[in-house]
DNA sequence: TTGACTCCCGACCGATCGGTCGGATAGAGT
DNA sequence: ACTCTATCCGACCGATCGGTCGGGAGTCAA
């Protein structure tokens, strides 16, 4: 056991993560997954009951990584603005840590096969719920404290997901726009700053603040 | 001919668009496409040489719709802020017009099969390039005129794509966050306003402007 | 009537899909 | 020596995949 410092199960999960990220659930055959870790297809079924379960475990592992990176930041008791900045940084770090992460996540958000039947889907649901709740809570507190504008919290959560997950999942298109890979260290740093600046001040300089009719 | 006011070719494209949007390129069989328009698989090959060509034509058609909606706005000669607002509105209208649009687009951005070999891929490349160039030009002009902050234009293009395409592609997750379908009329209107407000003023109230020379 | 053309169908092809099954190998505990 | 368990393999299954082929039905022009 542990012939290569990783158990077969973990090697399978790693390979499946990379492949699912590149070609999606339907686009990857179990044979390809197995052979990319030096096994044969039928051997996979000693570790996972089905392709759907393997997929769910891959997704759950990714979401857990993000949750673990995000939770301490969102639970810290600094002000909303600083928590937002650090949250953006933690989220981007989690996405940039392993190249397949963002792409896999974006695909899973758009995949609509019914994996809900699998019991492993509960882990996915749980981690996703905690991440979304945490982001929503931060935004709501900031709005209630008057530190953030009175934005729609759900819409802002969507914007944050789009600005992070989509960006690092954009692959060739992103590289074509930026002129270099979206995951190279400098562009990751730049992404954090650009997104934080946008959240701080928007795009338009000195835009007249919207007249508000309430206290 | 024109038995249902649409040619078979157009009906095939419509059906394929909806199916590719839902389950992706690899997840859709030609048999399913054919039967959803009342044909048999082999009949498709009288209209399209291969599955890859069908896919490329579907994508090209979607990008053309967006380009047609965006071009007049981006070419108008009003100020950058108003052009930005109208561009956001036109882009969102194009995405919300047909439900499969955003999801199909997001999938195509993340799909990395080599469709480039097909000659139809040129239409895709052309339309995509025009859309991206138009957005980039608007942002660059705004920055040079001092109306926009000195943002990274490519990063801002990415953010705009994420905030629009991702949002309307998010399906169940978006509906879960918003409490109602992302494509319902009211939420579409709200999305425009939320995004425009974010671009105008950011998220944080009265954030101190960044000092240009930093350590 | 005859071709020519368009549109469509059913049968068929090799390949691959997810998944099952029986057995081979090896290590650990007794 | 023995069994037990974990791990892996090869053969095999029915179904489906993208794609080909020959031909039938309809229309139009000559």
Cβ pair B148:A81 closer than 8 A: no
Q: Which of B159, B191, B204 sits opposite A163 (nearest CB)?
A: B159
Tell whether the torsion through CA atoms of A14, A15, A21 and A27 is positive or negative. Answer: negative
CA distance linking residue A14 with residue A141, whole number of Å = 37
Q: Residue A22: its pLDDT value, please? A: 95
Both structure tokens of A156: 């802002």
User: Does the residue A2 lie in any domain?
Assistant: no
User: Does the residue A197 lie in any domain?
Assistant: yes
Estimate in Å the CA B172 to C1' D15 gap, whole number: 30
The answer to whether the CB of A131 falls within 8 A of the CB of A149 is no
Q: What is the mean pLDDT of residues A150-154?
A: 95
Candidate from A15-19, B40-44, B119-123, B188-192 with smallest mean pLDDT:
B119-123
Q: Which residue of B has its CA nearest to A187?
A: B155
Determine which of B127, B204, B208, B211 to mutate to test the interface with A (most A C-beta atoms within 10 Å).
B204
Estimate in Å the CA B40 to C1' C7 gap, whole number: 12
Candidate from A104-118, B19-33, B81-95, B122-136 with smallest mean pLDDT:
A104-118
Q: Which residue of B has its CA nearest to A22?
A: B112
User: Does the residue A74 lie in any domain?
Assistant: yes
User: Does the residue B38 lie in any domain?
Assistant: no
User: Does the residue A23 lie in any domain?
Assistant: no
CA distance linking residue A168 with residue A191, whole number of Å = 9
Q: Residue A2: its pLDDT value, please? A: 36
Looking at the complex, report in whole angstroms how far the Cα of residue A194 sits from the nearest Cα belonging to chain B: 7
A162-200 exposure pattern, b = at least 16 Cβ within 10 A, e = fewer? bbbbbbbbbbebbbebbeeebbeeebbebbbebbbbbbb
Long-range pairs for A69-75: beta carbons < 8 A, 24 or more residues apart: A69/A93, A69/A94, A70/A94, A70/A131, A70/A134, A70/A135, A71/A130, A71/A134, A74/A134, A74/A135, A74/A137, A74/A138, A75/A134
User: Does the residue B26 lie in any domain?
Assistant: no
Residue with tokens 């099969």: B113
Q: What is the mean pLDDT of residues A156-166?
A: 98
> Which residue range forms the structural domain that includes residue B116?
51-201
Average pLDDT of chain A, as a whole number: 91
| CATH number, domain containing residue B151 | 1.10.357.10
Q: Which residue of A has its CA nearest to B178?
A: A154
- Distance (Å) of CA A189 to CA A88, A193, B162, B213: 11, 7, 18, 18
Instruction: For residue B204, report the phi and psi dihedrals to the nearest 5 degrees.
Output: -85, 135
The answer to whether the CB of A87 falls within 8 A of the CB of A153 is no
Measured from the CB, is A166 under 7 Å from any atom of strand C?
no
pLDDT single digits (tens) B117-165? 778 889 999 999 999 999 999 999 999 999 999 999 999 999 999 999 9
User: Does the residue A108 lie in any domain?
Assistant: yes
Q: Residue B112: its pLDDT value, please? A: 77
Q: What is the mean pLDDT of residues A195-208?
A: 83
SS3 assignment, position A148: strand
Which pLDDT band, with edges at 50, 70 and 90, does A1 fall under?
very low
Strand D, nucleotides covered by protein (CB < 7 Å): 7-11, 16-22
Estimate in Å the CA B46 to C1' C3 gap, whole number: 21
Q: Which of B93, B96, B106, B95 is nearest to B20 (CA)?
A: B106
pLDDT single digits (tens) A185-194? 999 999 999 9
Angle at B70 between CA B101 and CA B106, to 5 degrees: 30
The answer to whether the CB of B180 falls within 8 A of the CB of B187 is yes
Candidate from B52-56, B86-90, B184-188, B198-202 with smallest mean pLDDT:
B198-202
Number of CB pairs, chain A paired with chain B, less than 8 A apart: 205
Cβ burial, residue B130 (10 Å; 0-12/13-18/19+)? middle
The answer to whether the CB of B53 falls within 8 A of the CB of B120 is yes
Strand C, nucleotides covered by protein (CB < 7 Å): 7-11, 16-22
CA distance linking residue A90 with residue A70, whole number of Å = 6
CA distance linking residue A60 with residue A126, whole number of Å = 9
User: Does the residue B13 lie in any domain?
Assistant: no
Domain count, chain A: 1
pLDDT single digits (tens) A99-142? 999 999 999 998 876 787 778 889 999 999 999 999 999 999 99
Q: Collect all residues of chain B within an 8 Å Cβ-Cβ radius of residue A165.
A: 162, 166
Q: Collect all residues of chain A within an 8 Å Cβ-Cβ radius of residue B112.
A: 22-23, 171-172
């Amino acid at each position: 056991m542990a012939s290569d410092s990783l158990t077969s199960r973990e090697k399978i999960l790693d390979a499946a993560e990379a492949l699912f990220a590149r070609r999606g659930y339907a686009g990857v055959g179990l044979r390809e997954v197995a052979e990319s870790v030096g096994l044969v297809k039928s051997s996979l079924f000693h570790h996972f009951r089905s392709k759907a379960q393997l997929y769910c475990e891959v997704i759950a592992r990714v979401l857990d990584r993000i949750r673990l990176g995000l939770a301490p930041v969102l639970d810290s008791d600094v002000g909303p603005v600083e928590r937002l900045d650090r949250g953006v940084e933690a989220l981007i770090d989690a996405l940039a840590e392993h190249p397949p992460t963002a792409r896999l996540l974006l695909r899973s958000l758009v995949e609509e096969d019914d994996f809900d039947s699998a019991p492993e889907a509960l882990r996915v649901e749980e981690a996703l719920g905690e991440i979304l709740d945490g982001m929503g809570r931060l935004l709501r507190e900031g709005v209630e404290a008057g530190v953030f504008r009175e934005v729609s919290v759900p819409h802002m959560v969507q914007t944050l997901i789009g600005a992070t997950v989509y960006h690092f999942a954009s692959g060739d298109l992103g590289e074509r726009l930026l002129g270099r890979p979206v995951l190279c260290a400098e562009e990751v740093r730049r992404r954090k700053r650009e997104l934080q600046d946008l959240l701080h001040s928007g795009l338009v300089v000195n835009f007249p603040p919207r007249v508000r009719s309430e206290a």
